[in-house]
Structure formats: C-alpha cells, structure tokens
Amino acid sequence: MARSRIGTVGSLKEDARHSITDALKVQELHVTRVKEDILVGNSRGLNLANLAHRLDTELAAQNEKIATLKAELEMADSRQEERLSYLLRSDDCYRLVRDRYLSTFKTDHLGIHTKTDKKIIANGNVTAHWGDAIVDSSLYAEPDGRMDVEVFQKLYGVLPKTMEGIRDEKTIYVLNTHAGILSSNFKKGSRKFSNLFAKFIKALEKSGFDETYLDGKDTDVTRAYRAFVDCIGKEVKGVRPKRR
C-alpha cells in the first residue's frame, strides 16, 4: 500500500516560507502615493490606481473647460438682434444711440454733468443697455468727436485709440460685458468682478495686446481671461433700479 509523505512541522514551515518567497519574486510589491493615499500592491494594481487618478484629473480639466465655454456663451451679447436692427436702419442712428449711452453713463454713474451731455441725452429717446467698444471708440476718432476718454476707459478698461488694434471677438465680448454690467441699472458686479477684470486688462496690456492668448497657450492673459469669464455667473447680481 502506497503511503503519502507527511513532513514535520518544521518542514511545513520551511515549504511555506519558500512559497511566499517565490510569490514575492513573481509579484514584487511596490509602495506609491496617489493623491493623499499611500497604496501598496503589485505593479498592475498600482498602474490601475494611477490610471484612475489620471482619468479623474483629465475629467476635472474637461469640466473646467466646459464651464468656461458655457460662461463664454452666456457672456455673448444677448441683445445682438436689437443692435443689428439699429445698424440695418441707419449707421448714423446707431451712433447717436451709442453717443447717448456714453453720456448717460457719465451722468448717472460717474456723476459728471455737462451741457453737452444733457443735450445729447435730451435729443434721443432710445437708450442702449449693452457695451459696444468698437462703435463707441469711433466716436472719439471723428472730427469734433468726444473728448472724455476717461469715460470710455472706465467702461472698457482701455483707451479708445487702443481699440483700433483689438479685433479678437472674445476679447471684445469681455470688454462689452464689463461695460454692460457697469452701466446697468439692474445688475451690479462685485468687487471680485471688478478686480478680475482689472487683472485681465493689466495682463493684456503687459502682453502688448497679444490676442493669441486663446490659441492653445497657457499664459497670464489666458488665466486672467478664464478667471474673469468664470466669475460672471457668480459675481454679478440683480439689483433694483434707483428712483430718479
């Protein structure tokens, strides 16, 4: 009759030790940090953990980009059809509306009252409620045009002459959005809103008004632009208009 070999307790322990040693040689354990956690495992398991972390990071970045794009769409002038109707009727008519917009802001929001501005306001019956940096800047370039460049700069952050070199649509939207909120009787931007706009203008000026900052680059202007755009939804609140 055949007999199975039964080892001693010591030999069983030795066999177990060799088995564990062999397993460790095949599957070497590693220690690594993923986010705030310290993980111990074989290379395959740790690679999966790192992959999950990278996917989480990429997803967060994509969500941030989506939020920025959404804010950009919301920032786009909601009154473009109204603006277009003025342009189709008469360019001169629209320029009068823009002239009245600047004089109204100067009088109502800056508290500066002049006979010329009172006349401009009295001669019109249509008031714009949105910014238009391109047309407004042209009012300062024409003969006998406006001279109060500080009013334009308060609204748009730059001088009228600077607008001659600014043609990027998203940059213009930022300037127009700031002006529209600053001149509004129904909306008010917070201090953070104003500070982030000022940082964007400063970064843009420092770059020499380089408008390629959204061409896949990561620059100070890019970051300042996104910070301002992202804050609009949170840092602009509705207010009750003041009684005249």
Q: What is the pLDDT of residues 200-234, one digit of tens each?
A: 999 999 999 999 998 988 999 999 999 999 999 99
Least confidently predicted of 26-35, 145-154, 184-193: 26-35
- Number of helices (H), then strands (E), in the chain: 10, 4
Report the distance separating Cα 174 and Cα 77, nearest Å.
10
Biggest CA-to-CA distance, the chain: 125
Q: Measure Cα distances from 171 to 10, 20, 127 in Å.
A: 80, 65, 24
Q: What is the DSSP letter of 242?
A: P
Strand duo 37-41 + 187-189: pairing: unpaired
Total residue count of the chain as it appears in this document: 244
Least confidently predicted of 10-19, 39-48, 156-165, 169-178: 39-48
pLDDT score at 128 = 86
Report the distance separating Cα 129 and Cα 167, nearest Å.
22
Token pair in block for residue 131:
């910014």
| Those residues with Cβ within 8 angstroms of residue 205's Cβ, 6 or more apart along the chain or in another chain | 158
Token pair in block for residue 172:
């213009």
Predicted TM-score (pTM) of this structure: 0.67
